[in-house]
A and B are shown apart, each in its own frame.
Chain A
Amino acid sequence: MRDRVFSLETEYAIMFQSSSQNILKNLNREIFEALRQTLVEQYGIPNSSFLINGSKFYYDALWRSDESTGNIEWSLPECRTARETAIYDNAADRALAQAIPAAEQHLQQEGFVGRLFLIKNNVDSHGNTYGCHENYQAERITHWLSVQDHLRMTIRYLVPFLVTRQIFCGSGRVGWGKTSEQGVRFQIMQRADFIEEIVSKETVQERAIVNLSRETESLMADNQRHRRLHLILADSNMSGWATHLKLGTTGIILCLLEELGFGEIPHLQNPLQALRQISRDPTCTVPVLLSNGSTATAIEIQRLYLNQAETYFQTHMASSEEQAILRDWRIVLDQLEQDPMQLSDRLDWVAKKRLMDLYLQRQGQDWQNIPENGEVHYKLLELDIQYHNLSPQTSLFHKLLVDKPDTLATVAEIQQAQIQPPPYTRAWLRGTAIELARNSETKVAIDFWDKLKIDQCSIAIPDPLEFYSPQLCTLVAARTQPSPLTAPRDADRSQHRIVICTSNLVAGERLADALIQLGYQSVRVREKDSGTLRFQWNSVDSWMMEEVSHVLHREMGVLATQFEPEFSPELSVGSISIHLPS
């Protein structure tokens, strides 16, 4: 995958069912504080919205004069790939779900006894919507076009793609129209009826297919060259597989735009009308009108994009993730064409519709004739909401997909993402600072994404792709105890051969000397044209990693937690890589 920052911001819906009276209203602020207290205890530090994995959990009040009317929002840390983002999204859901019991106890101490629900959807039945915003770092300047022309081309090519990609990333909804006023029917996309413009800068009203509200912000240190593409139209996904495909395909489209990799893609005659037409057709066969007078289905339009992406990657090297995304993209289009229900184990709207179809079948009804405000209507609406419940005990998503093989990530990977930031963005620096504060008396203040403060020392981290800070390492090393040497008394270091690859030969020699003093007899330093320091060895013992970590910490101020060993027992050779200043 091309170097790019990906991220998501999700607004979660809240519902509190009181044991004394049914459901109290206007408790959003109190519920947020109860959740925040729990999350800070587990992952955070007082007086900061940021958590140890680099995420931000905060309260987004709509009106400053009324604190009760706000949403709880979780912004993921800066991630490097679509897959990483999808895993951190799952980790956020998991952390929030796990926080609910303790938050209920905190609320109880405040006098509010009851049951808390967190719902990751995008609509209620009263005409309100809330979002799941995507963020992509994108090129502002290319070698080929002016800034304005590149922006125009981006909008031109993005619109048909974004209108049609809902067939694999929609979450499904009961009701046509903002309040179901156009019928009790199923549609693919929750937000389709709330998107009212093709391009706009608004997010609370006049929401658009392509949002330009963050164009002046940057996800890069150099905002002349890079821009922040902020998309607000999509649904929240429960399925990590769908999140991965949503972000991954969009990332590939951005890559083709930046490299002028596109051929002809047809205009939609009326993109907003097409958005709703496609959303209201779960068979994925409805033709939408193109500007040249012909028609095409959403699947056909997506195939145009996929074919051009595959053509592009015939002459450009695709990463393993890009290959996986292209493969899944083709599979999903093929299966949608054959029978969308084949995807009920991966796509949210299909999984949800399948259960609703079963319910209607039991009731002897079909989607054409459901009486409005009748029992069946309300049952479908409740089922629609409960699909998105975060609590595994009550979530229909969890019940539907929990036994299915998750091809995206293991539970261990998601658990890891709850407590560790992505390793190759500035989120790592943020997480390191929070870990320092949690494990020592050090005062750490983090109020912004691009800076942090340790005691009285401010550290700027303007570049989201930067994951090493010598200043931070020095501060951390001075405030922590290195891990003790744990090599056994009879440890035989003579059998280990170590090669240190680095562009900084002085640092490499210093490390080699330190290791030789410990008893390693074969330590070589090899010059390498990279800012990364790399250890290679023929074999490794469990104590050896800690010992090398200790030396690194002592000599370079690099903490052991700042790298992950990559050891392959099959090959009897392994290595670790550490980014160091040249």
Chain B
Amino acid sequence: MSSQERIQNTTGQSRKTWETEPSLLNPQPREETIAEQIQTETQRLDDILDDFLGDTVVATEIIDGTQAGVGFVRKPSSEEFVREFRQPGGQ
């Protein structure tokens, strides 16, 4: 299951629990929902960080008149990226 599917599924479950929860007789589901939401959010952040740390190659489409293809650009290291991110300075 991709991270996106996992997010959607978990979000769907949370919403369903929330809709059926407001009952004075059984307050327990609310706590479960909050815990579940925290877990979902933590997992989501983990996935985002994994994606950020994991990318090493970037694909870019090349269209040259009649020819089309896919070229690959090596993702620079963080140090290269930061050093090359130099702006002229503005206002």
Contact = CB atoms under 8 A, between A and B. Distances in A.
Q: Is this pair of chains taken from one and the same complex?
A: yes
A14 interface: yes
A62 B73 contact: no
B87 interface: yes
Interface in A347-399: 354-355, 358-359, 362, 373, 375, 378-379, 381-383, 385-386, 396, 399
A232 B48 CA distance: 32
Interface in B61-91: 62-64, 71-73, 76-91
Interface of A: 11, 13-15, 17-19, 22-23, 25, 28, 60, 62, 68-71, 73, 104-105, 108, 113-115, 119, 124-126, 128-131, 133, 203-204, 232, 354-355, 358-359, 362, 373, 375, 378-379, 381-383, 385-386, 396, 399-400, 403
B25 interface: no
Contacts of B44: 403
B73 A114 contact: yes
8 contacts: A13-B87, A108-B62, A128-B90, A130-B89, A362-B49, A375-B78, A378-B81, A382-B81
A75 to B, nearest CB: 12
Q: How many of chain B's residues touch chain A, expressed as a range?
A: 20 to 34
A141 B71 CA distance: 61
A203 B91 CA distance: 5
B27 to A, nearest CB: 22
Contact of B76 (A23, A126, A203, A403): A23
Given A355-B45, A399-B51, A62 B90 contact: yes
Contacts of A68: 88
Contacts of B48: 355, 396, 399-400
B11 interface: yes
B49 A355 contact: yes
Contacts of B60: 19, 104, 113-115
A427 B82 CA distance: 38
Residue picked from B60, B79, B88, most chain A C-beta under 10 Å: B88
A378 B87 contact: no
A382 B78 contact: yes
A17 B89 contact: no
Contacts of A115: 58, 60, 73
